[in-house]
Amino acid sequence: MALNLIKLCVGCDSVEDLEEWIAFRLDERRRAGEPVEQWHTTRMVPSRTAELVDGGSLYWVIKAQVQCRQRLLDIRPFVDADGIGRCHLVLDPKVERTQWQPRRAFQGWRYLKQADAPADLGRGGSGLMEMPPKLRQELAELGLL
């Protein structure tokens, strides 16, 4: 069974912000002639790599709510210029929206079992995607989403 990671999406106020940031970074890499792939750098290297890349995802917490996920494609450990071990979490650039799930702030990333992960929203069922992001946030804060 696939294993997931969960992490705070610092600096983004919405899923749309995250998608814009991803598109910007991919375009930068394309213009620079670098491989066009998206990754997130983290200091701690997951020890359960095989489980994570076997269908796992990185779930993003935005404004105290799990709101979306990206499929994990690879985990690449490396040592930075300061001699500190880090890794790139290589991600599918496609962002899948999920049901909202409240989460308190935490540092770094955590493992997330598939049974505890929020379900994908799917296509056209609930109408949540048609709502403005600010309205979705307000409804979530009231516990209505």
| Tokens (6 digits) for 104 | 């308190």
Question: CA separation (Å) from 113 to 52, 56, 110?
Answer: 10, 9, 10
The pLDDT of residue 134 is: 73
Nearest of 90, 117, 91, 129 to residue 6 by alpha carbon: 117
Tell which residue, 86, 76, 81, 80, has the closest CA to residue 35: 76
For the chain, report the end-to-end CA distance as a whole number of angstroms.
28
What gap in Å lies between CA 63 and CA 46, rounded to an integer? Answer: 25
Q: What is the mean pLDDT of the chain?
A: 90
Name the domain count of the chain. Answer: 1
Tens of pLDDT, residues 89-123: 999 999 999 998 999 989 999 999 999 999 998 75
Residue 129 pLDDT: 63
Give the domain range for residue 135: 3-141
- pLDDT at residue 139, rounded to an integer: 74
